[in-house]
Chain A
Amino acid sequence: MATETIIWLIPLPPLLAFFLIVLFTNRSKALSHTIAILAAALSWLGSMVVFFRALQVENLGANPITHAIRWLPVGEGWFEIGVQIDPLSAVTLFFVGWTVLMIFVYSVGYHNFGQPAGDHDRKGLPPHGATVTDAHGHAHKVPSVEPMYSRFFAFIGLFAFGMFTLVVSDNLLTLFAGWEIMGLCSYLLIGFWYAKPSARDAAVKAFLTTRVGDVFMLLGIAYLYSQTGTLNYRQIFFNEEVLLGLAQTPTGFLGLSAAGLIGLLLFIGIVGKSAQFPLHIWLPDAMEGPTPVSAMIHAATMVSAGVYLGIRMFPLVTAGWEHGDPLNTTMVIMTVIGAFTALFAAVIAVAQNDIKRVLAYSTISQLGYMVAALGIGAYTAAVFHLVTHAFFKALLFLGSGSVIHGMEHGVLHTGEHIDPQDMYNMGGLRKKMPVTFWTFLIGGFALSGFPLVTAGFWSKDEILAEAFGTGQIVVFLVLAVSALLTAFYTMRQITLTFLGEPRTQAAEHAHETPWTMTVPLVVLSVFAVGAGWVGIPEHFPVIGGLLPPWFQEFVGHTLPHPPEHLDFNIVPLLTSLVVALGGLFLGWTIYKDTHAGAEDPLKRTLGSLHTAMQNRFYVDELYRAVFYRPAGWIADVFTVRWLDLGLIDGILHAAAQISTTIGSALRNYFDRPVINGGADLLAESIKRLGVVFRPIQTGRVQQYMILALVSIATFSALFYYLLVFAR
């Protein structure tokens, strides 16, 4: 099959799966997940074929595989939509294909396929477990199958469709369509257990928060279209003239050029989607969804989509900027927000106890890394970190899901009433869940940037090296501190979860998860290690040059002018070694002796700062006070009480009052006396007249006839007179 055809076909199977499951196979759990996984596998196959074919294209960056069709007639031309595979979308397609497939497979185990239906399970709530009686007559509580199993697979199918569409599209409009499909799906999936109020709130929060960014993004797209007349990547981002023209058009807003302003507007969209600082609040709450959804949102798809767009529009943001120049306004904003988010989220992650929330903040932090990397112009480093992060973060989320699953098993078994997601209730799980432990360890080390072997090390090191090499020392320091914190909270998480002794009965009875869950973990852990090896810098001591720095070479050519390689510098390397190992060591020493019921050791040291960290620096409370409350006040007091009840109802009531007054006046002074009275008078006078004439109605025919004769004679005489004499 022609490569273009395959690219067109990649997003389709999950969409078909969505419709098939929703319309036909909703009742059959086995059929539903078979269809969904088959669809994911087909998309995966297509992605791999396209990826490897793309590798064989000579200088893919300058000659991407494209195909477009005319879609909408606009003015004198056509708006074309189509597909495009350049190095960036090829690598994105690679990791998306893999992670999506793994997440689909994992979901089967996560939702307890093959287990009995729950005793009291209701749709819209997580399964509560079922009681089974074994051969000896003992009743056991075991996990029960998700009541809305098929629905889940339908939704993640649609989600995958959105992501694949976004990746293969060649213009910002279809990218935006995929973007919004994912927005919808994230809403549906975060609120998957919709009977839980917290899940409902989280879904609404995620939807509304990302919507804030999307509005600006759409503005940016509209502005870009009005400036250039096209939304095609090639025609804008690969076109020197257009970029230069945009860079030289002033907008009169903060002294930004059109390119800068469009970049900024699109960047606000990214801030929403990739959960950067002011709009990051939805992502930790998105943990309310099932864990495969967390992996889907936080690793494979939605947040990656944000950074993907950032990478896409990199030429636009950097239009007129050369490597080594001072950063332009938009880049400075990106850098500041990215670096701040990286540090801010890392600090919060240190104090979180929910295993998934730690990962959520770590995702925000890592996305901040990528955004900051883009801000300082480290293009390939950002792409590299995007790819490696997708793999190890998907691995970590799936791993945490596996841990929670194992813990839930223990909770059901022992009947304890504890939160199976709280890390302080775990401990010692390495013996109970060896596969989960080792894969989680690999993922955690990749996240921390454990030197040399893990993918995270290479990508993070590259960002640090770029920051240092381009002279952005502040950014470098901030990111280094974040890296230290990252290693620290990752090790804290691993130590609390897997090392030491079990702190609860449930942890004692935790259980390794089924193969449908562990196999994806193993596959992803291979990538969490191996994905880094394709991008080892050429000048790295000892092992540099053993493998060619293929990644930078390949992805760099997405840009018209591929970025040059930085000279090797020992400072960032040493820094990243120290922070990674130091953070890991600190995390291990501080938390290795945590006993049941123990407080977080940092609580004593940090005091109120720790409380602030635990409460996420009160950003949610701040938003509640700044946006939510005033909005509530405006809605409740201003709109309802003043505007609606006061003004509008007042006008209405006044109008009603006036109308009644006029009405009763009309009734009393016109209707009753004139109309009624007139009618009565008429009737009365006719009645009187009747009484007057009544006596002539004798009933005797002959009298009537005499009357008739007299009348006729009279009238005849009258007529005769009139006709003859009155002429």
Chain B
Amino acid sequence: MIPLSWFLIFSAALFSIGLFGVLSRKNAVAILMGIELMLNSININLVAFWRYQTPAQIAGQVFAVIVFAVAAAEVAVGLAIFISVYRRRRTVSADEIDLLKW
């Protein structure tokens, strides 16, 4: 059987890739995709821990399902915001959306 640490390493790698995507990509849609990657790496973590540590209990899977739902909702909201931003400013580049400064 594949040891737990493989899953964790894979999950950490996936999280780091997602984080890198979030931090480095300029396109807002790409940033959202990075966030999705990070969420999924967490799902892997949750499922892996469930399988290896407490297989008798269903909590790990439930968490994963909730994360799906939250991710779906978050993407919906995020895309809506980006569409709105694009309509006003004709861009979805994160560099140019900098109204939050002093």
A contact residues vs B (CB 8 Å cutoff) = 694, 697-702, 704-706, 709
Q: Are A699 and B23 in contact (CB under 8 A)?
A: no
**How far in angstroms is the closest Cβ of chain A from B24?**
8
Q: How far is the CA of A697 from the CA of B101 in the complex (A)?
A: 5
B contact residues vs A (CB 8 Å cutoff) = 19, 22-24, 31, 94-95, 97-102
Q: A697-B101, A702-B31, A702-B95 are in contact. List 15 more A-B contacts (CB 8 A).
A: A698-B98, A699-B98, A699-B99, A699-B100, A699-B102, A700-B94, A700-B98, A701-B94, A701-B97, A702-B23, A702-B94, A704-B100, A705-B23, A706-B23, A709-B19
Majority-rule SS of A interface residues: helix
Of all chain A residues, the one with the shortest Cβ separation from B95 is A700
**How far in angstroms is the closest Cβ of chain B from A640?**
70
Q: Are A699 and B94 in contact (CB under 8 A)?
A: no
- Can you sample 17 A-B contacts with CB below 8 Å? A697-B101, A698-B98, A698-B101, A699-B101, A699-B102, A700-B94, A700-B97, A700-B98, A700-B101, A701-B94, A701-B97, A701-B100, A702-B22, A702-B24, A702-B95, A705-B22, A709-B19
Of all chain B residues, the one with the shortest Cβ separation from A691 is B102
**How far in angstroms is the closest Cβ of chain A from B38?**
11
Closest CB pairs A-B (n = 5)? A699-B101, A699-B98, A699-B100, A697-B102, A700-B98
Chain A residues with CB under 8 A of B102: 694, 697, 699
Of all chain B residues, the one with the shortest Cβ separation from A690 is B102
Chain A residues with CB under 8 A of B100: 697, 699, 701, 704
Chain B residues with CB under 8 A of A700: 94-95, 97-98, 101
Chain B residues with CB under 8 A of A702: 22-24, 31, 94-95
Chain B residues with CB under 8 A of A698: 98, 101
**How far in angstroms is the closest Cβ of chain A from B66?**
23
**How far in angstroms is the closest Cβ of chain B from A166?**
96
Of all chain A residues, the one with the shortest Cβ separation from B102 is A697
Q: How far is the CA of A694 from the CA of B100 in the complex (A)?
A: 12
Q: How far is the CA of A709 from the CA of B34 in the complex (A)?
A: 15
Q: Are A709 and B98 in contact (CB under 8 A)?
A: no
Of all chain A residues, the one with the shortest Cβ separation from B19 is A709
Chain A residues with CB under 8 A of B97: 700-701
Q: How far is the CA of A438 from the CA of B22 in the complex (A)?
A: 133
Q: How far is the CA of A699 from the CA of B102 in the complex (A)?
A: 7
**How far in angstroms is the closest Cβ of chain A from B101?**
3
Q: How far is the CA of A713 from the CA of B86 in the complex (A)?
A: 33
Q: How far is the CA of A651 from the CA of B101 in the complex (A)?
A: 64
**How far in angstroms is the closest Cβ of chain A from B86?**
16
Of all chain B residues, the one with the shortest Cβ separation from A698 is B101
Q: How far is the CA of A289 from the CA of B31 in the complex (A)?
A: 109
**How far in angstroms is the closest Cβ of chain A from B28?**
9
Chain A residues with CB under 8 A of B98: 698-700
Q: How far is the CA of A694 from the CA of B102 in the complex (A)?
A: 7
Q: How far is the CA of A699 from the CA of B23 in the complex (A)?
A: 14
Q: How far is the CA of A699 from the CA of B101 in the complex (A)?
A: 4
Chain A residues with CB under 8 A of B19: 709
Q: How far is the CA of A701 from the CA of B98 in the complex (A)?
A: 8
Chain A residues with CB under 8 A of B24: 702
Q: How far is the CA of A214 from the CA of B101 in the complex (A)?
A: 92
**How far in angstroms is the closest Cβ of chain B from A498?**
115
Q: How far is the CA of A698 from the CA of B95 in the complex (A)?
A: 10
Of all chain A residues, the one with the shortest Cβ separation from B26 is A702
**How far in angstroms is the closest Cβ of chain B from A690?**
8
Chain A residues with CB under 8 A of B95: 700, 702
Chain A residues with CB under 8 A of B101: 697-700
Of all chain B residues, the one with the shortest Cβ separation from A701 is B94
Of all chain B residues, the one with the shortest Cβ separation from A699 is B101
Q: How far is the CA of A10 from the CA of B102 in the complex (A)?
A: 98
Q: How far is the CA of A550 from the CA of B24 in the complex (A)?
A: 138
**How far in angstroms is the closest Cβ of chain A from B102?**
5
**How far in angstroms is the closest Cβ of chain A from B27?**
11
The residue among A694, A700, A704 with the most chain B CB atoms within 10 A of its own CB is A700
Of all chain B residues, the one with the shortest Cβ separation from A704 is B100
Q: How far is the CA of A87 from the CA of B31 in the complex (A)?
A: 124
Q: How far is the CA of A700 from the CA of B101 in the complex (A)?
A: 8
Q: How far is the CA of A700 from the CA of B93 in the complex (A)?
A: 10
Q: How far is the CA of A699 from the CA of B96 in the complex (A)?
A: 9
**How far in angstroms is the closest Cβ of chain A from B37?**
15
**How far in angstroms is the closest Cβ of chain A from B73?**
20
Q: How far is the CA of A697 from the CA of B31 in the complex (A)?
A: 20
**How far in angstroms is the closest Cβ of chain B from A696?**
9
**How far in angstroms is the closest Cβ of chain A from B81?**
12
Chain B residues with CB under 8 A of A706: 23
Q: How far is the CA of A48 from the CA of B6 in the complex (A)?
A: 132
**How far in angstroms is the closest Cβ of chain B from A256?**
101
Q: How far is the CA of A700 from the CA of B28 in the complex (A)?
A: 12
Q: How far is the CA of A701 from the CA of B95 in the complex (A)?
A: 8
**How far in angstroms is the closest Cβ of chain B from A185?**
89
Chain A residues with CB under 8 A of B94: 700-702
Q: How far is the CA of A704 from the CA of B94 in the complex (A)?
A: 12
Q: Are B23 and A709 in contact (CB under 8 A)?
A: yes
**How far in angstroms is the closest Cβ of chain A from B32?**
12
Q: How far is the CA of A694 from the CA of B101 in the complex (A)?
A: 9
Chain B residues with CB under 8 A of A704: 100
Q: How far is the CA of A701 from the CA of B97 in the complex (A)?
A: 8
Of all chain B residues, the one with the shortest Cβ separation from A694 is B102
Chain A residues with CB under 8 A of B23: 702, 705-706, 709
Q: How far is the CA of A709 from the CA of B94 in the complex (A)?
A: 18
Chain B residues with CB under 8 A of A705: 22-23
Of all chain A residues, the one with the shortest Cβ separation from B22 is A705
**How far in angstroms is the closest Cβ of chain A from B68?**
23
Q: How far is the CA of A709 from the CA of B18 in the complex (A)?
A: 13
Q: How far is the CA of A716 from the CA of B46 in the complex (A)?
A: 21
**How far in angstroms is the closest Cβ of chain A from B22?**
7
Chain A residues with CB under 8 A of B99: 699
The residue among A697, A701, A705 with the most chain B CB atoms within 10 A of its own CB is A701
